[in-house]
Amino acid sequence: MTGKFPVYIQDCALHCAMGKQHADIHQCLNGTMSSNMVNDETILNTASSTIVGRVKDELPSIPQHLIQFDSRNNQLALSAMVQIEDSVNQAITRFGASRVAVIIGTSTSGIATGEDAYQQRIENGAFPTHFHYSKQELGNCSDFIARYFNLTGPCYSVSTACSSSGRVFISAKRLLQAGLVDAVIVGGVDSISRLTLNGFNGLEALSNSLCKPFDAHRSGINIGESAALMLLSTQPAEIALLGAGDSSDAHHISAPHPEGVGAEQAMQKALQDAGLSASDIGYVNAHGTATQLNDSMESKAIARLFGNDTPVGSTKPLTGHTLGAASATEAAIAWHILKYKLQLPQQHCQQKADDIEVALVESEMSLNNKAILSNSFAFGGNNISLIFGYAHD
C-alpha cells in the first residue's frame, strides 16, 4: 500500500453508548453529557457486577423481506446503515451495485440472539420459531448489509478480535487500489453478549467501576456495544484515511508484548504509509483499555515515537471497549473531531500512573488541523494503527 493512493470518507455513521445524534456524541465527547455507561448486576455468572456501554435508543426493526437476519446485532447495524443510506444509494447509482463492496469487522456477531434462543430451548424444550444458527456466523452482518442495499460486489467479514474493524480499512484500501471496486462500506458491529462478558471476567480483566485508562488506579476494562460504518471511495472528500499500518507480534495469546514492539511497528507503518512524521499527528487515540499491561506497553510504544509532544487519550470510558467494533467506533470519533473541529475528548484519568510515559489530553485541547492516529490492539498481537486527517494532494 502507499499513502499516496487517495481513500476518502464520503460519509460516517455511529451508534454507541454516546448515542447516534451528532449533538449527543459531541456533548459526550466534551463532557457536558454522560454516555450510557451503566452498572449491570445480572450479566455475569459470578456474584459481581460490571459497567457496560449500552445503546439505549430503540433500534429499528429488520425489514420483513430480510427477517432471516433478525438479531440485535443486525438491528444495531441497521441503525447505522440508515444514517448513510443516501450516500450509499448515490454510490450505487454512480458506480453500479457490483462496484460497491462491504467489509465488516465483528467478534460476537449475533451470538446474543443465540444465547436467548438456547435459554428458551432450556426453558421450553424448543428453539424460537425464527431462530437459525446462521445469525451467529461472523459473515451474517456483512451479508445483511449487502442484501439490504442489493449489492453484488465483494462482501465479507473480518474477525481479528479487537482490531477487526481496523483491518477492514486496510482491506478496503487494497480493493480500491486494485481497481476491483469503486466504493466500500466499512465498519464494525458488535453487541453485548453474556459469552463475551463472562469470558473477560474469567480473565479477571473486567472493572466493576468506570474504566480509567492510564490512571494509577486503573482496574480493567468496560465492555460496550456499537455500530460504526463509513463509506469509502476515491472520490475527493474533506476527510481521508491518510495511512494504515498493521503488525502481528504474536507475543502471547492474550497478553500484549510488554515493550509494545508490535504496537510501535503498526504505528510506524501507518506513518510511513501516510507519508507523515510524528510531528504531523495532533492526537493519538490510544487503544487505552485501562488494563495494567495494555496501558503500560502502549505508553512505552507511543513515547518512543512521539515523546511527550503529542497528546494521548482513550475514549473507552465513553463507549466501553466495543471489541470487534472498537477500531471503527474510534475511527468515527476521529471523523467527528475532524469534521466538526471539536476539542480533544475528555479524559477520565485523575492521577497518571508512574508507568505512563506520554502526555495525556488536558481540558480544552484542540487538534490544530493536524491528523489523528488511532490504535487498536488485539489478542495474539494483531495490531492496527489508522491515520485520519484532512484530505491533501
287 catalytic residue (yes or no): yes
What is d(CA 181, CA 63) in angstroms, rounded to the nearest whole number? 27
Residue with cell 454512480: 94
Which spans in 193-260 are helix H? 194-202
Q: Which three cell numbers stand for residue 331?
A: 475511527
C-alpha dist (Å) from residue 106 to 37, 188, 190, 256, 257? 21, 6, 6, 20, 24
Q: Which residue among 132, 321, 336, 348 is the active-site one?
A: 321
325 contacts: CB under 8 Å, gap ≥ 6: 16, 105, 106, 164, 165, 187, 188, 189, 190, 225, 226, 227, 228
132 catalytic residue (yes or no): no
Residue with cell 455475569: 44
Q: Which residue among 15, 132, 257, 287 is the active-site one?
A: 287
Amino acid (one-letter) located at 247 = S
Q: Which residue among 162, 211, 336, 349 is the active-site one?
A: 162
Q: Are 255 and 293 in contact, with CB atoms under 8 Å apart?
A: yes
162 catalytic residue (yes or no): yes
Mapped onto helix, strand or coil, the DSSP state of residue 371 is: strand
What is d(CA 308, CA 84) in angstroms, rounded to the nearest whole number? 38
Catalytic residues: 162, 287, 321
